[in-house]
Amino acid sequence: MSLSKESLPSWGYAVAGATGAVLANAAVYPLDIVKTKLQVQVKRQPTDEKTEPLNPVSNTESQNSSDEEIYSSTLDAITKIAAKSGVKGLYTGMAGALLGVASTNFAYFYWYTLVRTFYLKRSGTAHPSTAIELSLGAVAGALAQLFTIPVAVITTRQQTRPSYEEQLGLLATGREVVSEDGMSGLWRGLKASLVLVVNPAITYGCYQRLKEVMFKGRDRLSPGEAFLLGAMSKSLATLATQPLIVAKVGLQSRPPPAANRKRFRSFGEVMKFIIEKEGPMGLFKGIGPQLMKGLIVQGLLMMTKERMELMFILLFRWIKKLHAERLAKNAGALVVRVGKV
């Protein structure tokens, strides 16, 4: 009997995907901190060495935040963060980030499995086109974002909080967001997040398409093959959506405290501000750690997800076998009792 992927329920795929995502993101979490900090830095002038936070502030505010480190590269950021806050500084907001990763991926894979299965049954086709795969992924991503974006907002606030300020926990940061912006603040950047559903859509659409092209007719991949496809698909998605990723971080980050600060209202305003300060290439800042993180995380995620799905299939098969044996045993006992009567 073959180990068919269709033998798993939707929640089985969701748990497998969430587990793989948590393990993968935990392994490279310092890169997440670094890429976020790099993405909220904006040069004042193209020829100026100094930088300012994505949310612009007055001269007085700049002086108040002058103790905050400026990072020139991934290695420079890791070195400075570790020197100032210790190794634990590289894991700031990790609990919230992993909670967000788990919830987002559980929701994504759950909805993706449901909408894809529904489409396949209605269309009668076994191999959707690339455009359909991308559309199904976008629908699943949008549904997932609606329920999980508050955790992403809180995590971004934690990761971008200046080191000279008190570092708050998950709930305390959430209360801070609500006190500043109201409940709607927990959904800040929702429009950008909904636009960014094209990222997982491109990722998993490319994964399915590459799998069909490179490993035609095979339902299961080896860990190395799954890692390769995951890394390739994520790199394509990251390159295509990096400007939106940078803009989303700018929307969700916390500006330095001040009375006359500017708050961006859309990711379009963030992108315009970055282009004015740094030029078009400023929209790709942090691309190094973003790509590195994406390659490793997506590779490990898909590798782990494939193994988890296989484990669930074997577990379900074992449970069904036990259930069938118990039914057979009970039926046999019933026959014996009826025979004695």
User: Is the pLDDT at 3 greater than 50, yes or no?
Assistant: no
Quick one: average pLDDT of 125-141? Answer: 78
Kindly list the distances between the CA atom of residue 80 and the CA atoms of 76, 191, 301, in Å, as whole numbers in the listed order. Answer: 6, 33, 29
Q: At 242, which CATH number?
A: 1.50.40.10
Q: Which domain covers residue 197, as residue numbers?
A: 5-340
- Closest by alpha carbon to 249, among 155, 184, 164? 155
The secondary structure element, H or E, covering residue 42 is strand 41-43
Helix (H, G, I), strand (E, B) or coil at 52: strand
Tally of structural domains, the chain: 1
Chain CA centroid to CA 98, Å? 9
| Size of the chain in residues | 341
What pLDDT does residue 51 have? 52
pLDDT for res 53: 54
User: Reduced to 3 states, what is the DSSP secondary structure of residue 53?
Assistant: strand
What are the pLDDT digits (tens) for 54-66? 554 444 344 444 4
Model confidence, pTM: 0.58
Q: How many helices (H) and strands (E) does the chain have?
A: 12, 2
pLDDT tens-digit map of 148-187: 888 888 888 887 777 667 777 788 888 888 888 888 888 8
Indicate the range of 51-55, 202-206, 295-299 predicted with least confidence. Answer: 51-55
